[in-house]
Amino acid sequence: MKVAALLKSKGEDVVTIEREASVGAAVETLRRRKIGALVVSPDGRRVEGIVSERDIVHGLARYGGELLGRSVADVMTSAVMSCSPDETVRHVMWLMTEHRNRHVPVVDDGVLCGIVSIGDVVKSRLDEVEMEASVLRDVYLARR
């Protein structure tokens, strides 16, 4: 399955935040939207970074109580691993495992067009395995 198909089924909505926003605003957005990461973007099209729950925990260890007043730029990950809609979900799963990332922005010709989480990838893979098992069961029963 391609990432484009996964985005089609889950939606292409990406929640972004500007680098100048406060970490407090990022935390509130993560909580309200029930998500684990925000793409840092000035315009919703270009990816400047990503800020995840993990980045915030690291920021808490570094800045302590002043963290919520700091800017997202102080805690975001700037070297963002992304994928294209044409890549396979299996390849994105490998990237996530290899680089220990739970969220991968999807970029097409330099423009942000979605985000894939580890949950999306696992659900996709489970659906594939379930379909394969169903086909094998049907073939087995047809031969009996």
Please give the residue range of the domain that contains residue 13.
3-143
141 pLDDT band (50/70/90 cuts)?
confident
Tokens of 9: 């089924």
Q: Tell me how far CA of residue 74 lies from CA of 61, 84, 137, in angstroms.
A: 13, 27, 53
**What's the total number of domains in the chain?**
1
- The position carrying tokens 């007043």 is 69
Question: CATH code at 121?
Answer: 3.10.580.10
> Is this structure's pTM higher than 0.75?
yes
Q: What pLDDT digit, counting tens, does each position of 75-94 carry?
A: 999 999 999 999 999 999 99
Taking the alpha carbons of 79, 3, 15, 126 in that order, is the dihedral positive or negative? negative
pLDDT value at residue 144: 73
